[in-house]
Amino acid sequence: MGFDDICGTGLALGFGFSSTANNQRSRKPPADKGGSLSFEPSLTLSLSKDKSADHLSSSTYSNASVKRERDIGSEETEVERVLSYRVSDEDLDDDVSNGRKKLRLTKVQSALLEESFKQHSTLNPKQKQHLARKLNVRPRQVEVWFQNRRARTKLKQTEVDCEFLKKCCETLTDENKKLYKEVQELKALKLAQPLYMQLPAAATLTVCPSCERVADAGEKAPTKPHFYGPFTSPSAAC
DNA sequence: AACGCGCGAACCATTACTTCA
DNA sequence: ACTGAAGTAATGGTTCGCGCG
């Protein structure tokens, strides 16, 4: 997404996203065991060739994943079910033969997974095995859950970042418009009064670019005025 | 050292199923 | 009872890093 030269002033605005979850495509788990995912939107405001980038990162993702009452019965019965739930290779074969079968995770299972995800968003094989045993589910299920969870986190973060950047964009567009208007006004002023001698009182504070001497309206005119016309070189005036 | 190959892990887009308003 | 939307478990394909011959 980009906004190129909105007001014709040579200013260009653009933004995009780049992930820094160990460079996103890195298949290795993050070095830091926290395994934090961070997605960095980059906001770029460029004036012709000059380019600057600002990396932003926020983590305002609110966890709303376990919000549905998906199971009947009390927590206790659920725990029992978690602990009695066994998945074997035969089950896996069954799934394959019967087509896709969706096993809804229980509240307790989801909560445990969520808890684990808070600690590290990626799992090494050992952690996966351990968690799978703890939850009485297949390691593959744990893996899939984490995958989907990461995807959800990323989506939420992208939404948040997008909102933020939209606001940035609006602000910058306004700013840009203001500056453009100012430029137009100054241009108009310059055209209307080609000679600096005709400048109104507010603009009579002049600086000679050559000697850098400031002269205001009240000051006695120097023997040789430092005024110069639009077609004369400033340096020639001194 | 360079290369090709196989494997495992992670990601992504998509599908399929479940739940709820 | 039906239906569409939202949520999410699962699948298939792709890419990458690594070890090995």
User: Mean pLDDT over residues A119-124, rounded?
Assistant: 85
Taking only the tens place, the pLDDT of each residue in A196-224 is 555 554 444 555 555 555 544 444 444 44
Residue A24 has pLDDT above 70, yes or no: no
Domain count for chain A: 1
Q: Strand B: which nucleotides have any atom within 7 A of a protein Cβ?
A: 8-14, 16-20
A154 CB-to-strand B distance under 7 Å:
yes
- Residue A138 placed within a domain: yes
Kindly report which listed range (A66-70, A157-161, A193-197) carries the lowest average pLDDT score.
A66-70
**Whole-prediction pTM value?**
0.56
CA distance A105 to A128: 16
A90 CB-to-strand B distance under 7 Å:
no
Between CA A11 and C1' C20 the distance (Å) reads 54
Which domain does A117 fall in, by range?
Answer: 107-195
Read off the CATH number of the domain in which A184 is found: 1.10.10.60
Taking only the tens place, the pLDDT of each residue in A136-147 is 888 888 988 999
- Residue A45 placed within a domain: no
- Residue A139 placed within a domain: yes
Which pair of structure tokens corresponds to residue A205?
Answer: 């504070």
A25 CB-to-strand C distance under 7 Å:
yes
User: Mean pLDDT over residues A166-194, rounded?
Assistant: 92
- Residue A36 placed within a domain: no
- Residue A151 placed within a domain: yes
- Give CA separation, A87 vs A57, A80, A108, A149, A198, in Å: 40, 15, 17, 22, 91
- Residue A162 placed within a domain: yes
Report the share of chain A in percent with pLDDT over 90: 10
- Residue A228 placed within a domain: no
Nearest nt to the A27 alpha carbon by C1': B10
- Residue A92 placed within a domain: no
Q: Strand C: which nucleotides have any atom within 7 A of a protein Cβ?
A: 7-11, 15-18
